[in-house]
């Protein structure tokens, strides 16, 4: 079955995206026992899987795209705690009740939520933790506000989709999770301009909605950045997490 959101075409650019805010990861995971077994769903190129392994988790990194998975395998080659599996959120290739943590790092918005939550609940032990995380640019920053204006001028009606929406109602409505809560932490990432512009090329939501105007949008973003900085840009980000526990 073809993937509705297939990141194969942007896999080479995906690693340029900024990391999750360290304080948010600590708040989400540092209270769990060292050596706990985790499943990172839609693991992409391995950014969250590597962060979990560094915290002592044994991670099954599940990724449907061969191109993304290949980059993830290469990126985590030195991490014995990460094992890569081909699979989808709606049919995880794991036995029932085998994980104490299931994570969706910037992936819950591109899966079928009911089926994905059913599978997450299936592989979690009772009381196991679910975590859905996203990185967001802080859009009221002056430079980011100008970028948003340029995007919307070229792509009228542009939407970020459900990734910026609250997830608590979705998690509660599944009936499989309790103690639903949100947390977030912010920081400023200082990024070489060339790297940051590469990351924009992996923005599949923007690419799909911009269509033939995508390159023009990137040129407009680059022009805004060039008017502000030369080699490095300071970008405020917030990592927003939604946590819940399997009933």
pLDDT tens, 129-155?
Answer: 999 999 999 999 999 999 999 999 999
Pairing, β 82-85 against β 232-246:
unpaired
Distance CA 73, CA 84 (A): 7
User: Residue 179: helix, strand or coil by DSSP?
Assistant: strand
For residues 59-72, give the mean pLDDT.
97
For residue 226, the model assigns a pLDDT of 96
Phi first, then psi: what are they for 93, rounded to 5°?
-85, 55
Phi first, then psi: what are they for 114, rounded to 5°?
-65, -50
Q: Assess whether pLDDT exceeds 60 at residue 181.
A: yes
Residue 2: pLDDT band with limits 50, 70, 90: low
For residue 174, the model assigns a pLDDT of 97
Task: State how far the alpha carbon of 172 is from the alpha carbons of 80, 101, 178, 231, 247, in Å.
Answer: 35, 18, 7, 45, 11
For residue 92, the model assigns a pLDDT of 98
For residue 208, the model assigns a pLDDT of 95
Name residue, tokens 């499943």. 39
Q: Assess whether pLDDT exceeds 60 at residue 1.
A: no
Task: State how far the alpha carbon of 65 is from the alpha carbons of 17, 21, 85, 127, 236, in Å.
Answer: 18, 25, 10, 30, 30
pLDDT tens-digit map of 20-57: 999 999 999 999 999 999 999 999 999 999 999 999 99
């Amino acid at each position: 079955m073809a993937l509705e959101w297939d990141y194969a075409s942007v896999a080479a650019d995906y690693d340029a995206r900024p990391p999750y805010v360290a304080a948010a990861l600590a708040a989400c995971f540092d209270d769990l026992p060292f050596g706990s077994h985790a499943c990172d769903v839609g693991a992409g190129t391995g950014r969250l899987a590597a962060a979990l392994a560094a915290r002592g988790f044994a991670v099954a990194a599940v990724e449907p795209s061969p191109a993304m998975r290949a980059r993830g395998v290469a990126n985590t080659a030195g991490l014995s705690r990460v094992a890569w599996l081909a699979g989808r959120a709606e049919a995880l290739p794991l036995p029932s009740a085998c994980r104490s943590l299931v994570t969706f790092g910037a992936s819950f918005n591109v899966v079928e939520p009911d089926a994905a939550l059913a599978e997450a609940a299936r592989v979690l032990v009772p009381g196991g933790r679910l975590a859905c995380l996203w990185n967001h640019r802080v859009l009221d920053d002056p430079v980011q506000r100008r970028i948003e204006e340029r995007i919307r001028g070229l792509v009228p009606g542009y939407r970020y989709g459900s990734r910026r929406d609250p997830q608590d109602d979705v998690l509660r409505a599944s009936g499989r999770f309790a103690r639903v809560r949100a947390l977030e932490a912010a920081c400023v990432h200082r990024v070489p301009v060339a790297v940051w512009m590469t990351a924009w090329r992996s923005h599949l939501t923007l690419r799909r909605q911009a269509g033939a105007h995508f390159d023009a949008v990137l040129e407009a973003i680059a022009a805004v950045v060039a008017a502000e900085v030369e080699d490095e840009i300071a970008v405020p980000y917030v990592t927003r997490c939604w946590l819940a526990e399997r009933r």
